[in-house]
Every structure is written in C-alpha cells, then in structure tokens.
Structure 1
Amino acid sequence: MSASDLDRALHATVLKREAVKEAEYRAARQKHEEEVRLGFGATDMTKEELKKLIDSDRRMYYRSEELNDKLFIQYKGWKELKNLEGWTGLRALYGECNAFDRISGLSSCRNLRSLFLQENCIKKIEGLEGCPLLWNLNLNNNFIERIEGLSHLRSLNTLTIQRNKIGFSGVDDLVHLVETTISTLDVQDNKIWDPDVLPEVFVRMGDLRVLYLKGNPCAKKIPNYRKGITAVCHNLKQLSCYWRLSGQDVRFTPH
C-alpha cells in the first residue's frame, strides 16, 4: 500500500470515528431535551408541591407557610397560580417562566409588595383585589392587550409590562393608567402607535416620574420626542429614547 493510500485509509477511519461520536452526541442531546420537555409542567401547583419546595431548602424557607415572606417558583411549568391561602406573610412572589394564563390565587396575600409574573401566558390584568399593598408588578413577555385592573392598588409604584400586545386599540388600551399611582412605567416594545397617548395618558398621570417607551411606533410620531414629552410631563425625571447610539439605548434625564 502506497503512502497516499495509507493516508486515505487513515483519513476515512478518522471520519468514521468522528461520525460515530457525532451520532452519540446528537442522541444524548435529543434524550436530554425530551426529558426536559416531559418534565416541564409535569406537576401542578399543589399544596404538596409547595411543601416539597419548603422542605428542599430549610435555609430559605420556614416550615410554617405564614412565616415566609418570599416564594420562588420560577421555571416550574405550572399552569395555574393557586394554593397560597396559607402564605399570608408573603411580600415577594417570583413566578416567572411558568405557563400561568391568568393572575389568580392571591386573595390571602394581602401583604404582597412585589409580584414577578414575566414570561407566562397571561392575557388580562386581574385577580389583584387581595393585594392592596402591591408596590412593584412585572408582567413582561405575556399576551396582555390592555392595561386595566390596577386603580384600586393605591400603593402601586412600578409597572413593568414590556413586550406584550398593548396599543393595537390606541389610547383606549392605556387610558386606565390615569387612574393609577404609578411612578415608573415601562411599556417598551409594545404596539402603541397613537401619539395621542402623550396628552391623553402620560400627561395626566400625576405621579409619573420615569417613562420607558422605546420600541413603540408612537415614539417616532411625537414631534421633537425628547423635548416634546419633557415639556408637557413636568414631573418626569427619566425618559427612554427610541434611537440608539453605538449600540446602546439612549436615555434622557431632564435637569
């Protein structure tokens, strides 16, 4: 066998060995992804599952539900927010990255201050009647089309609701904000197209201090965007702009 034939034979052997390794890797990866898929949402948010959560980390949680002021239930795949009747001392609930399609089960959580429900399947703002002290609400990456159900929350300071479907119906989707006490509003990357949202909503929000509006069509329709908004929203302290500079979002802070 010549040197060239030997080289070709060795090369073929190497390629065959690498192909086997690649096939084994792909099979292992597919198996892992299937296990993750089957495990996501395999349980419900039952009292038993919450008890398992408490028992799994005694440094984080007290045995008695009512003594816990924080609850971390991210990435559980749970479809319904429920069974929190005993969590009366809860002040912060981290429930992002589940499959909740509505806000529910919070009637006993009257001490709740912060609620994080981003990256779920929520279509409507509701179910917050039992949370009069709520201060911070995060609903990013859901399917909400209209801001509503917040006027009774007289302590609400921050609403973060990026990347939803708000604004298709114009000002009507946001006019409820006028009835709230919101100071920091983040509605970036929604569908707000009507520039009348400035005089009819933002100007009339007496407590508004911080506004993030980037990524909405209306931002480019408001004449002299930065000056136009700050000239009429006299209490505004921070404003996100709709353009970029060297890859960074520009934010304007009025003097």
Structure 2
Amino acid sequence: MLAWYRLCKLHDLYTCPELNDVLHLQCKGITKLENLDAYTGLKTLYLEQNAISDIENLDKLVNLRCLYLGKNMIYSTLGLQALTNLETLDLAENVISTINDLSKLPLLKTLNISGNRLHTVDDIRDLAACPQLQSLDMASNRLEAPEVVDFILSMPLLYLRLMGNPAVSNYKHYRKTLLARMPSLNYLDDSPVFPKDRRLAVAFVEGGGVEAERAMRETIR
C-alpha cells in the first residue's frame, strides 16, 4: 500500500488508487510491471520509454481502455487477455516478432505495432480475428512477401500504415490496389484517401489499367 500511496503523491493523483483513471509512468526506468493491482479504475495507462520486457500483472485493470507501451523492450504480445475493454494499444518500437492473442481483445480498435520485427504473414495472422480493428500501424517492420498485402486487403480498416516494409515495394500497384479493394480505407501510409483517388484506383484495377484510369480522369474533369 505504501508504494501505491507514494506513486499517487508523486503524480498528484488520488491517494486511493482505485479512484484514478489515468496514470503517467513514462521514462521512469521501470523494468517490471508490478504494484498496479489497486488501480482498478484506470482507463488510460502510459508506460512509454521504460525497460519493460514482459507484459504481466495487468489482470486487475479490467477497465483499461488505452495502454501505451511504446519504446520498451517487449518481445511478446502475450499477457493482455484479461483487458477485454481495451480499445487502443501502442506497442511501437519494441522487439516483437509475432502477434499473439490480440484476437482475445474484442473491443480493440487501434493498434500501433510499428518499428518491431514482424516478418511474415504468419506473424500477423492473429489480426484477422480482431473484429473491431479500424486503425493499424505496422510501418517499419520487416514484412517482405506480397502475401502480407493480400492478407491486409481482407481487413475492414479505416487507417493503415505499412510504409517502411519491403512488401510495399514488392507489391505491384500497391497503393492503387489497396484503394480499390478496401472501400472503407480513408488514410494510407502518410496520405489521406480522397474520393477522386479511389475512383481513379478502381478504374485502373478493375477497368483495364492506364487507359481506364485516363478515361476516368477525363470523366472527373
């Protein structure tokens, strides 16, 4: 209880841990997740830029909506299965090579797992079972095979960042294909998707290449 009390005093929080809904623990040199069981009311937890390697001891934080674990030393996505209310998860710039058990988070909408070590389509296959996922950032991993893009095409995403992976340059007509075959997508890599872009992409992919795209451009004009 003393550790919880000191933590609350240090950050000007309620001294009853369960009354706090946000906790900032960035850049604290934390190496192990512990002493958080009493923070049962937490909705947002910031833990970026520490030295955490394992996601553990979070089972009591069942009200958590947003969890930020970027820039740590995390190697696995295991340990989150109790956080069934989690909507936003940031795991950017860690050392994760495979996505596991995120499909057990039924409300997960936003995932940032950029700057990790994902390599093959099997490493990300668990994402297919995340029913609410809308925003996905997998930029700057090691995803290489064109099959990675084919896999993503089946996901009803609104936002996608895949830049910085070899799969982008290895996939013929990458941007046009995604815009044409992912009708809900409104942001791809570092650019928004405008209705004109999608009309041109659909013409190119489904209508017969450059000539069809040129004809659609004239129609729009």
Give the TM-score normalised by the residue count of structure 2: 0.84
The CA distance in 2 between the partners of 1:117 and 1:49, in whole Å, is: 21
The counterpart of 1:63, out of the listed 11, 15, 25, is 15
Aligned to 1:24: none
Structure 2 gap ranges (5+) = 196-221
* Matched residue SS, 1:151: helix
1:204 has 2:140 as partner: no
* Partner amino acid, structure 2, of 1:179: A
Deviations 1:211-239 (A, max 9, x none): 00110001011111211111222221111
The CA distance in 2 between the partners of 1:64 and 1:128, in whole Å, is: 24
Q: Is the contact made by 1:124 and 1:145 (CA closer than 8 Å) also made in structure 2?
A: yes
1:251 has 2:203 as partner: no
Per the alignment, do residues 57 and 80 of structure 1 end up closer, same or farther by CA in structure 2, a change over 3 Å counting? Answer: closer
Matches within 5 A, 1:86-165: 86-165=38-117
Matches within 5 A, 1:1-255: 48-58=2-12, 61-167=13-119, 170-180=120-130, 181-199=132-150, 201-205=151-155, 207-240=156-189, 250-255=190-195
Give the TM-score normalised by the residue count of structure 1: 0.73
* Matched residue SS, 2:168: helix
Structure 1 gap ranges (5+) = 1-46, 241-249
* Matched residue SS, 2:106: coil
The CA distance in 1 between the partners of 2:3 and 2:71, in whole Å, is: 21
* Partner amino acid, structure 2, of 1:219: V
* Structure 1 residue runs of 4 or more that deviate by more than 4 Å after TM superposition: none
Which has the larger Rg? 1
Q: Is the contact made by 1:113 and 1:136 (CA closer than 8 Å) also made in structure 2?
A: yes
Deviations 1:103-129 (A, max 9, x none): 111100000000000111100001112
Q: Is the contact made by 1:209 and 1:238 (CA closer than 8 Å) also made in structure 2?
A: yes
Q: Is the contact made by 1:226 and 1:252 (CA closer than 8 Å) also made in structure 2?
A: no
Report the CA distance between 1:254 and its aligned residue. Answer: 3.8
Identity percentage over the alignment?
35
Q: Is the contact made by 1:236 and 1:254 (CA closer than 8 Å) also made in structure 2?
A: no
Per the alignment, do residues 140 and 113 of structure 1 end up closer, same or farther by CA in structure 2, a change over 3 Å counting? Answer: same
The root-mean-square deviation of aligned C-alpha atoms, in Å, is: 1.3
Q: Is the contact made by 1:157 and 1:182 (CA closer than 8 Å) also made in structure 2?
A: yes
Q: Is the contact made by 1:202 and 1:233 (CA closer than 8 Å) also made in structure 2?
A: no
Deviations 1:54-95 (A, max 9, x none): 11243xx11101000011111111111112111110000000
